[in-house]
């Protein structure tokens, strides 16, 4: 599968035929092209009206802030 659009189409097609299918695996595609595959997941998976992240840069900034907060709070231990 190439992305969330294709996964949603496959799940809908199977459901229309009476097959019970709750999801689709996007492993390799998500690993190779994470933004292309997962950037629209909030809309497809959770039914959001729009995506909360508009760019990869915005996602990186939020992740860096969250990681810094964890590190400075001392709640993360480095594996030995």
Q: Does residue 36 form part of some domain? A: yes
- Is position 45 within any domain? yes
Each residue's pLDDT tens digit, 22-31: 666 777 777 8
In a domain, 29, yes or no: yes
If we measure between CA atoms, which residue out of 21, 38, 20, 28 comes closest to residue 1?
28
Does 26 map to a domain?
yes
Q: What is the pTM of this model?
A: 0.48
Residues 6+ apart with CB under 8 A from 33: none
- Residue 52 in domain: yes
Long-range residue pairs from 25-31, CB within 8 A, at least 24 positions apart, any chain: 25/1, 26/1, 29/1, 29/2, 29/3
- Mention every residue, 6+ apart, whose C-beta is less than 8 A from residue 22: 11
* Residue 80 located in a structural domain: no
If one counts the domains in the chain, the total is: 1
pLDDT, one tens digit per residue, over 24-70 is: 677 777 788 888 777 877 777 777 888 888 888 998 898 899 888 88
Any domain includes 25: yes
Domain that holds residue 29: 4-73
State both tokens at 48: 């959001």
């Amino acid at each position: 599968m190439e992305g969330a659009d294709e996964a949603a189409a496959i799940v809908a097609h199977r459901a229309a035929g009476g097959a019970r299918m709750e999801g689709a695996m996007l492993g390799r595609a998500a690993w190779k092209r994470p933004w292309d595959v997962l950037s629209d997941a909030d809309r497809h998976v959770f039914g959001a009206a729009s995506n909360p992240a508009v760019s990869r840069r915005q996602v990186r900034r939020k992740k860096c802030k969250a990681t810094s907060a964890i590190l400075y709070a001392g709640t993360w231990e480095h594996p030995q």
